[in-house]
Amino acid sequence: MQEKIKSKTHGSDAVKIRLIFIVLGVLLLLPPIVSPVSASDPPSIEKKDCIGYAYSTSVNHYFLLEDNKSAFGNNITIIHNCESMNVYLNGSLVAFSNSDEIKIVIGSGYHNIELRSDNYSKNISNVLIYPDRLNWEFEFKEWDSRDSIAIEEFISIVSAQSRENWASILSIVMVFSLVTMVYWNLINSYVDRNYCEEVVR
């Protein structure tokens, strides 16, 4: 009797599990229920704050321009997201643009750069611009790619110092010889002029 009850309970559990899976399968096959959405205003587009910065370029290197900093390269690029931008160099207007990128060329030395728009202003004061001196990269590659015969034209530091020492010694010997010859000739000429001979009979 107990075995029959156990089998019935096991059978009813299996039926319940099957029923749950069937209900879940049917729910998954049904299209999703979309709740009605009331019409609303489109999201407002927030106006971005106007901002700008400047950098110089030299070969493949970029230098951000900031107060009291140094940078290489005379080509200056100004990037901004303002409607328009005025660029002042040492108090004089040098560029105006509505685009988001401005390129100017400035000389070497100390400069004050001002970026000015309707609601934005940035001063980059006392920035030192060096000329485009990073060509050493190409010179080094050219030197490095030469064959071993061309590289032998350079001498070592030890060899240069040895030659310098020999040059010093030879110059000392030459100066000593010249001074000795000049004094010897002066003494001989003095003796010859003041030489007197006595004749005794």
pLDDT at 1: 47
Looking at residue 74, which CATH number applies to its domain?
2.60.40
Query: Tokens 């530091």 label which residue?
Result: 157
Is pLDDT of 109 > 80? yes
pLDDT at 2: 46
Quick check: is 61 in a domain? yes
The domain tally of the chain equals: 1
Quick check: is 2 in a domain? no
Quick check: is 171 in a domain? no
Quick check: is 106 in a domain? yes
pTM for the structure as a whole: 0.46
Quick check: is 21 in a domain? no
Instruction: List pLDDT tens digits, range 134-153.
Output: 666 666 677 777 654 455 56
pLDDT above 90 covers a percentage of the chain that reads 29
Quick check: is 72 in a domain? yes
Instruction: List pLDDT tens digits, range 3-58.
Output: 554 555 556 777 788 888 787 777 777 766 655 555 555 555 555 688 899 999 88
Quick check: is 69 in a domain? yes
pLDDT at 94: 92
Q: Helix, strand or coil for residue 197?
A: coil
Question: Predicted confidence band at 133 (pLDDT cuts at 50, 70, 90)?
Answer: low
Quick check: is 97 in a domain? yes
Domain that includes residue 97, residue range: 52-130
Cα(174)–Cα(181) distance, rounded to whole angstroms? 11
